[in-house]
Amino acid sequence: MSVPLEQIGRMATEIVRQFSRGLPVVGVTANEGSTDRVEVLIGLGGCHTGECRIMLNLPRTDTARFEAEFPDKLRVALQQHERGS
């Protein structure tokens, strides 16, 4: 059974706060065609082009797996964004 989207949103918000209080989770949605994946959208205010967003595709089959994978994927995405790639 998949973790409810509301719970994913709360977990994502808590994890993002560990990186920066200024990064909002602006959306959480089920991955099209799959009930075991979720897309988390994070806003990056003050970006070089206005407001950038990072979208991460993650598992939602259990909370432990989400909590293990999300911080690593977020860290990599933020580093890539800072480098402009």
Which pLDDT score is estimated for 1? Answer: 75
Secondary structure of residue 6 in the 3-state scheme: helix
Q: What is residue 21's predicted lDDT score, i.e. its pLDDT?
A: 76
Looking at domain 5-80, its CATH architecture is 2-Layer Sandwich (3.30)
Give 10-residue mean pLDDT values along the chain (85 residues): 92 92 90 85 79 91 94 93 75
Q: Specify the pLDDT at position 85.
A: 55
d(Cα 59, Cα 81) in Å, to the nearest integer?
22
Q: What residue spans define the domains of the chain? A: 5-80
Q: Under a CB-based contact definition with an 8 Å cutoff, are residues 26 and 53 in contact?
A: yes
Kindly list the strands in the beta sheet with 50-59, ordered across the sheet, starting from the edge strand earlier in the chain. Answer: 25-30, 37-47, 50-59
The string of DSSP letters for 20-52 reads -TT--EEEEEEPTT-SSEEEEEEEEEEETTEEE
> What phi-psi label fits residue 80: left (phi over 0), alpha (psi between -120 and 50 degrees) or beta?
alpha
